[in-house]
Amino acid sequence: MITEALNPYIPVAWQQTQMQEKVQAGDGDFAHMLKDALNGVNKLQVKADEAALQLANGQAEDVHQVMIAVEQAMLAMQLTVQIRNKVIEAYQEIARMQI
């Protein structure tokens, strides 16, 4: 049972997402959600590009910030590709259905 107070046996970040979902539920359909997610991934890519450019210009203060931005963009991209694979798989499953 999850109460409003934090449950020590469930990770805090997960519980917070649960709380956020409660607020966000109801607005937007699947397409809207997908668009938002893709925008988020695109933002990370742009951020990584900017960080790499700053490093090349010699404006970057920390090398690790650049590396982390690039890694985040890469991970978000891989997550997107995996989601896409799942969606395509589901579509093909339905397309193969016998009528």
Partner 1 sequence: MSLFSSMLTSASGLTAERLRLDLIAGNIANARTTRTAEGGPYRRKSAVFAEVLDRAGRAGRGVKVAAITVDRTEGRLEYDPQHPDANEDGYVAYPNVDILQEMVDMITASRSYEANVTALNAAKSMFLKALEIGRR
Q: Give the residues lining the site for partner 1 (CB under 8 A).
A: 6, 12-13, 16-17, 40, 62, 64-65, 68, 71-72, 75-76, 78-79, 82, 86
Q: What is the 3-state secondary structure (H, E, C) of 34-66?
A: HHHHHHHHHHHHHHHHHHHHHHHHCCCCCHHHH
- Rounded to a whole number of angstroms, the minimum distance from the CB of residue 64 to partner 1 is 4
Nearest to 41 by CA among 81, 96, 85: 81
Q: Which is nearer to partner 1, 56 or 75 (CB)?
A: 75
Tokens of 18: 């649960």
The minimum distance between CB 93 and partner 1, in angstroms, equals 13
Nearer to partner 1, 7 or 49 (CB): 7
